[in-house]
Amino acid sequence: MFEGPIQDLIDELSRLPGIGPKSAQRLAFHLVKVPADEARRLAGAIVAAKEKVRFCRECFAVSEGDLCRVCRDPGRDPSVICVVEESKDQAAVEKAGVVKGRYHVLGGAISPLEGIGPDDLRVQELLDRVARDGVAEVILATNPNLEGNATAMYVAGLLKPLRVRVTRLASGLPVGGDLEYADEVTLGQALEGRREM
Partner 1 sequence: MAARVTWVEARDFRNHPGTRLDLGEGLTAVVGPNGEGKTNLLEAIFYLCALESPRVASDEPLVRRGAAAAYLRGELEASGATALVEVEIRPSGANRVQVNRSPVRRRRDVRRIVRAVFAGPDDLEIVAGEPGARRRFLDEAVRILWPAREGVITAYDRALRQRNRLLKDWDGWGTPRGLEAWDGELAAHGAALTAARSEAAGRIAIPAARAFEALSGGPSEPLTLTVEYRPSVSGDSLEAAFLARLDERRGDELVRRTTLVGPHRDDLALAVAGLSARGFASHGEASGAALCLRLGLASAVREELGEPPPILLDDPFSGLDPARRRRVAESLGSWGQLVIAVPDEAQVPEGAEVVRVRGGAVVGG
Which of 94, 77, 149, 159 minimizes the C-alpha distance to 123? 159
User: Residue from 143, 149, 167, 189 that binds partner 1 (CB under 8 A)?
Assistant: 149
Distance CA 18, CA 106 (A): 20
Contact pick of 9, 24, 28, 68 for Zn ion (by CB under 5 A): 68
Pick the closer one to Zn ion by CB: 9 or 103.
103
The amino acid sitting at 17 is: P
59 interface partner picked from partner 1, Zn ion, none, CB below 5 to 8 A per type = Zn ion
Is 99 a binding residue for Zn ion by CB under 5 A? The answer is no
> From the list 17, 18, 75, 112, which residue makes contact with partner 1 (rule: CB under 8 A)?
112
CB 128 within 8 A of CB 96: no
Binding segment (CB under 8 A) for partner 1, from list 4-12, 84-92, 117-125, 186-194 = 117-125
Decide: is 150 part of the binding site for partner 1 (CB under 8 A).
Answer: yes
Options 117, 172, 177, 193; binder of partner 1; rule CB under 8 A: 117
Residues 153-172 binding partner 1 (CB under 8 A) are: 153-154, 157
71 is an interface residue for Zn ion by CB under 5 A: yes
- Residues 129-148 touching partner 1, rule: CB under 8 A, are 146-147
Please tell me the total number of residues recorded for the chain in this structure.
197
Neighbours of 33 (CB within 10 A): 9
In the complex with Zn ion, the residue whose CB is nearer, 56 or 81, is 56
Listed in sequence order, the DSSP H helices in 36-122 are 36-52, 69-72, 87-96
Residues 32-61 that bind Zn ion (CB under 5 A): 56, 58-59, 61
Minimum CB separation of residue 94 from Zn ion in Å reads: 11
Where does this chain bind partner 1 (CB under 8 A)?
A: 110-113, 115, 117-119, 146-147, 149-151, 153-154, 157, 175-176
